[in-house]
Structure formats: structure tokens, C-alpha cells
């Protein structure tokens, strides 16, 4: 009897547990059925998307997007520290070094890094307050102009749509380092399937993969910096002290001021993806806690992983080293200054290990490109700025149709198997190169407009759960510097370093290869502006309430600030950067 009673209670408990999740006991044990059901529409999906420039509807939909909030603090920190380190740093820095010299490399990456510091803090302030789907593209719709939001959203989608095949191509080229006779199509297929499978696990799969990828990249860069210092001081197999020899001969600069201006686009490409900490806000479990810490980590990434590592590279590899320009394209790891530095030192095996790191870094950025473009596509659809079916989000919080569209674009990577591999890579890089500059400038302008409205509508800065460290001044500086980079790229696009040696058709080709993002942005903005006659949003009319997550926790913010005021000086200084 006792056993029967226990059995009945256990059965009832199991039944109740299953029904709590809307599943029968059979469904709960059937893994295949549960996977199939996970692709069904999310019951919280919004279907009231209205085509056009309805700012109020756009704000409501992005604020209530049914994306899953499953990213934790550790995911955010690793995404912030190493999430976008890829070909731009490991391989693209080689052509930057060859074109401008080591001093130009540091100036270009340092200037873009300062812009990113200002931009990410501005974005963080808005993202902590409004952790909505679409992030910066939605902020442009909300705080500037719906037409500009539409343009920035599609600019960002285009940037990452082409980055996916670009990074898969780059990954397949890295394998050529060991197996040059194997068709790239085979590696493209393997890498494409791997990236898509990771993203089919939802935001948790993306977060865990990026955590592992970023950890490997961080360890590799730190290890390279230590090795580089040893090699520079004469501790390598050849035992030769190098010091600052290559800064004197062949020199610190190549091609003068124009050489410096020529490398901004590739430096910007290297930082692309840093803004992901803002995009992931809508899928973060506790953005008020996780985002500020992750945003502060960007400072260390700029200093350590870009400036320090490039300083070491510039000391170990002269800008006239023929191997810097020996690759088949800007994705060829054989032209990586990191690999070249190790090979020049006469160290065996380590160059292959560094090539593995480059391949992982490339796959990491490809993984991020699927995440970034699919989420932005879904957010555009929720705002009525993209086909409605792209707003479909399943029960696991995956924007399923957007993922399928992005995955289809990844098939362009099979161009790697053609004889037009280098040309295809160059044009994909042209589309994505300056796209980031437009995005970052837009974020800074959004922050300036937001702060204006915040003050005009009677709010104080003490109400903000997180404040940008460089503040409104940093946003003005970031916006102006982004505009100056666009001007510099326009100049070198029309009059490149080798201007006198080029034909008219080659000059036109060169201009669009470095400035293609600008026509793309205008092609989206102008027709939308004319067709919908969208107004510029006035500061007094901006919606500062929809999507806010801190409306009922102001007292917690005040308590936290009172506690922070009592911290010792060392802890206050530590928390500024961490």
C-alpha cells in the first residue's frame, strides 16, 4: 500500500511538473518532438508590425521582442574583450603596416580605438536604459529620424551579411597554410555548417561559443606579447637584439600623411563588432549589471590587444618585409605580421599554432556576423522596415527566418573555390569596411540627441543607471572623428598613394573599393526619406519611456551609488576601468 501511495504521488507530481510547461509526459521524454516544437512561433511574438515610419509602434515592438535573455556577465565580458578580434587585427594589420609603417599603424588604430571608447560608452548608456532589440538602429529611428534608422539598420545588416562569407573565405584560406592543394570549397562547407549549427543553439549557444573563442584569442595575444618582448630583447633562437631598429630603417612612416589616411578603413574593419555589447543588451539576463562591466572592458581590449600587440609587431617586422604583401588576399594568414614575426625569429611549430588561433578568430567573427545580422534583420521587421516574415521568433528565442536568410548569404563563400577569390574578398571588404564608421557616428549622434531630450524633458543625469565616462563631450569627439575619417578616406579614394601610376578606370575601381559603404547608405536613406516623408524627431517629442527597464528600481540605483561613495580610493579607481 505504501509503495502504491508513493507511486501515485510520484506520478501526480511528474504530471503536474510536465503540465507546468505545457507539455505531456510523452512529449517531455521525446527529444525529437521537443526540438521540432522549439521551432514553432513564440506565443509572445508581436504581429502588429506596420510598414512605414511609425516610431511609436517601432518602440513598442522592439521593447517587447520575445528574444530570450540568457546571456550572463561572463559572456558579456568575453564578447567585449575579444569578441571581434579577427582578420582585421591578425591579418589585416599586415597590409596596414606595409602601407603606412609602424607609426601610422599605431596612430590609425589608436585613433579608431579612442573613437570606439567614446562610442561604446555612449551606446552603453542608452542600452542599459533601453535594452531593446535592434539597439543602435532603433535608437537612430527613435532619436534622429526613422529614415536614418532604416538606413543604419540595413547598413549594419549589409555589413555583417557580407562579413559572414568574407570570414568563411578567410578561414578556408588559413587552411591553405598547411594544405595548399585541397579545394577551398571543402573547407568552406565545413566552416559554414559549423557556424550555422552554433547559431541554431540560440543565444546561449552563441554566448558559450564566443566565450570559448574569445578566451583562446585573449590567451594567444597575451602570449604573443610576452614572446614578442623576449624576441625583441634578443631572447629568440637567433639571439639577436632588435630594439627599435626597424623604426629607423626602413623607418616609422611609409608614404607620409597619405599613407596614414590610407589605412583608416582597415583599422576600422579591425574594430568592427566592438559595438556588439550594445546589440546583446536585449538578450542579456541583467543588462543593468552586466553591460557596464563589459563596456569598461573595451578600454583594455583597445590598449592591450590592439595597441600593445601592434607595437610589438612593428618592432619585429619591418614594413618593407616582402612577406607582408605576399598573400593572395587580405585574408591570407601567410601575410599575417604575427606569423611573420614568429617565422623571422626562426621558431618552428609556433607559426602553425598562431595560424590555428587566426582560424579560430576568423570563425568567431563569422559566428558573430550571423548573430548581429539576424538580430538586426528581425528588429527591422518588428519596426516595419523589413519584410514582416523576418520578425518570426520561435520558442527558443531564435529569429528563425532571419537566420535562414543570413545563412543563405553565407553560401557566397563558395566563391573561395573560384579564380576570383581575391576580387570577391576585396569587394566584400569594401562594403563592410566603412560601414562601421557610419554606425559609430550614428551612435554618437543618437547619444547627443538623447541627452538633449533627457535634459529638455526634465530628467537629471542621476536617474541614469549607467553614465558614459567621456560623457556628452566624448560623443561630440567621437562623432567629429568619425566624420574626419570619412573625409580622409574620400581623399585617398580619389587620390590613392599610387595615383600617378594608375589609369582612370583603376582610380574609379580604387575609389569604390574603399568608399562603397557611402553609396549604400545613401541608397537606403534617400528613397525612404522621400517616400515616407519622415520628420526629424524633435527633442521635446522623443519617447523616453517605452522600453525602460529601470522605472521601478530607482531606489536600488540610489542605494548602490551611496554604497559606491563609501568605497576606498583604490576600489573607485579600479571600478573606473573594470
570 assigned to some structural domain: no
Are the C-beta atoms of residues 407 and 373 closer than 8 Å to each other? Answer: no
Question: For 404-435, what is each residue's pLDDT tens digit?
Answer: 999 998 888 887 666 666 677 677 777 776 88
Q: What is the mean pLDDT of residues 464-490?
A: 92
Is 112 within a domain?
yes
Residue 215 domain-assigned (yes or no): yes
What whole-number distance in Å separates Cα of residue 195 and Cα of residue 365?
10
| Dihedral, 514, 515, 520, 522 alpha carbons, nearest 10 | 170
CATH label of the domain that carries residue 238: 1.20.1740.10
| Closest-CA residue to 514 (of 432, 415, 424, 423) | 432
Answer yes or no: is 566 within a domain. no
Count of the separate structural domains present in the chain: 1
Mean per-residue pLDDT, 208-224:
89
Q: How far apart are CA 318 and CA 248, in angstroms?
A: 10
If one compares 208 and 51, the residue with the highest pLDDT of the two is 208
Q: Which residue has the higher pLDDT, 329 or 137?
A: 137
Of 24-33, 249-258, 329-338, the one with minimum mean pLDDT is: 24-33
Count how many residues are written for the chain.
578
Q: Measured on CA atoms in the order 316, 318, 323, 325, is the torsion positive or negative?
A: positive
Ranking 308-322, 325-339, 464-478 by mean pLDDT, the lowest is 325-339
Q: Report yes or no on 10 lying in a domain.
A: no
Q: Which pLDDT band, with edges at 50, 70 and 90, does 556 fall under?
A: low
Is residue 291 situated within a structural domain? yes
Q: How confident is the model at residue 5 (pLDDT cuts 50, 70, 90)?
A: very low
Torsion 484-513-140-548 (CA) sign: negative
Residue 152: the pLDDT is: 94
- Which 8-state DSSP code applies to residue 248? I
In a domain, 46, yes or no: no
Report the distance separating Cα 182 and Cα 176, nearest Å.
Answer: 8
pLDDT above 70 for 526: yes
Instruction: Render pLDDT for 176-187 as a digit per residue (tens, 0 to 9).
Output: 778 777 777 888
By percentage, how much of the chain surpasses pLDDT 70? 85
- Please state, rounded to an integer, the average pLDDT across all residues of the chain: 81
Asked whether residue 39 is assigned to any structural domain, the reply reads no
Read off the pLDDT band of 53 (50, 70, 90). Answer: low
Cα angle 199-200-203, degrees, rounded to a multiple of 5: 55
pLDDT tens profile 68-79: 777 887 888 777
pLDDT in tens, 479-490: 999 999 888 888
Reduced to 3 states (helix: H, G, I; strand: E, B; else coil), residue 191 is helix
pTM assigned to the model = 0.86
Host domain of residue 235:
76-546
Decide if 414 contacts 134 (C-beta within 8 A): no
Amino acid at each position: 500500500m505504501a509503495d502504491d501511495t508513493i507511486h501515485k504521488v510520484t506520478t501526480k507530481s511528474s504530471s503536474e511538473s510536465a503540465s507546468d510547461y505545457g507539455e505531456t509526459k510523452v512529449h517531455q521524454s521525446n527529444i525529437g518532438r521537443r526540438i521540432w516544437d522549439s521551432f514553432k512561433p513564440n506565443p509572445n511574438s508581436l504581429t502588429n508590425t506596420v510598414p512605414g515610419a511609425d516610431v511609436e509602434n517601432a518602440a513598442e515592438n522592439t521593447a517587447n521582442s520575445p528574444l530570450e535573455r540568457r546571456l550572463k556577465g561572463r559572456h558579456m565580458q568575453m564578447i567585449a574583450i575579444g569578441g571581434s578580434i579577427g582578420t582585421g587585427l591578425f591579418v589585416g594589420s599586415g597590409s596596414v603596416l606595409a602601407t603606412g609603417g609602424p607609426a601610422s599603424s599605431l596612430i590609425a588604430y589608436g585613433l579608431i580605438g579612442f573613437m570606439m571608447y567614446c562610442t561604446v560608452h555612449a551606446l552603453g548608456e542608452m542600452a542599459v536604459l533601453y535594452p531593446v532589440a535592434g539597439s543602435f538602429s532603433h535608437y537612430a529611428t527613435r532619436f534622429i529620424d526613422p529614415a536614418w534608422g532604416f538606413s543604419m539598420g540595413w547598413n549594419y545588416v549589409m555589413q555583417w551579411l557580407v562579413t559572414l562569407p568574407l570570414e568563411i573565405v578567410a578561414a578556408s584560406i588559413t587552411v591553405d597554410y598547411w594544405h595548399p592543394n585541397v579545394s577551398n570549397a571543402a573547407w568552406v562547407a565545413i566552416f559554414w555548417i559549423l557556424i550555422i549549427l552554433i547559431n541554431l543553439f540560440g543565444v546561449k549557444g552563441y554566448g558559450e561559443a564566443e566565450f570559448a573563442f574569445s578566451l583562446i584569442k585573449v590567451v594567444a595575444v597575451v602570449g604573443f606579447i610576452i614572446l614578442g618582448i623576449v624576441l625583441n630583447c634578443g631572447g629568440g633562437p637567433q639571439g639577436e637584439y632588435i630594439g627599435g631598429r626597424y623604426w629607423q630603417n626602413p623607418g616609422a612612416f611609409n608614404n607620409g600623411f597619405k599613407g596614414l589616411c590610407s589605412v583608416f578603413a582597415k583599422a576600422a574593419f579591425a574594430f568592427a563588432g566592438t559595438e556588439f555589447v550594445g546589440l546583446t543588451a536585449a538578450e542579456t539576463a541583467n543588462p543593468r549589471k552586466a553591460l557596464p562591466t563589459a563596456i569598461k572592458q573595451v578600454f583594455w581590449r583597445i590598449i592591450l590587444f590592439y595597441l600593445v600587440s601592434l607595437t610589438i609587431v612593428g618592432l619585429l617586422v619591418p614594413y618593407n618585409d616582402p612577406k607582408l604583401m605576399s598573400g593572395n588576399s587580405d585574408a591570407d594568414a601567410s601575410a599575417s605580421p604575427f606569423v611573420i614575426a614568429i617565422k623571422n625569429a626562426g621558431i618552428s611549430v609556433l607559426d602553425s599554432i598562431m595560424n590555428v588561433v587566426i582560424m579560430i578568430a576568423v570563425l568567431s567573427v563569422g559566428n558573430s556576423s550571423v548573430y548581429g545580422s539576424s538580430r538586426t534583420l528581425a528588429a527591422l521587421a518588428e519596426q516595419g522596415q523589413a519584410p514582416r516574415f523576418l520578425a518570426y521568433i520561435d520558442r527558443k528565442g531564435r529569429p528563425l527566418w532571419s537566420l535562414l536568410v543570413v545563412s543563405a548569404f553565407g553560401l557566397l563563400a563558395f566563391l573561395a573555390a573560384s579564380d576570383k577569390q581575391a576580387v570577391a574578398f576585396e569587394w566584400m571588404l569594401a562594403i563592410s569596411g566603412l560601414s562601421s564608421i557610419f554606425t559609430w557616428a550614428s551612435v554618437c549622434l543618437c547619444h547627443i540627441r538623447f541627452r538633449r531630450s533627457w535634459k529638455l524633458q526634465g530628467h537629471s543625469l542621476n536617474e541614469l543607471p549607467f553614465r558614459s565616462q567621456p560623457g556628452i563631450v566624448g560623443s561630440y569627439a567621437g562623432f567629429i572623428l568619425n566624420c574626419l575619417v570619412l573625409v580622409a578616406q574620400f581623399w585617398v579614394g580619389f587620390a590613392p598613394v599610387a595615383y600617378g601610376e594608375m589609369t582612370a578606370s583603376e582610380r574609379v575601381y580604387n575609389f569604390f573599393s574603399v568608399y562603397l559603404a557611402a553609396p549604400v547608405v545613401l541608397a537606403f536613406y534617400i528613397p525612404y526619406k522621400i517616400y515616407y516623408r519622415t520628420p526629424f524627431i524633435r527633442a521635446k517629442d522623443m519617447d523616453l519611456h517605452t522600453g525602460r527597464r529601470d522605472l521601478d528600481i530607482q531606489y536600488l540605483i540610489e542605494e548602490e551609488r551611496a554604497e559606491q561613495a563609501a568605497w576606498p580610493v583604490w576600489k573607485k579607481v579600479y571600478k573606473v576601468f573594470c
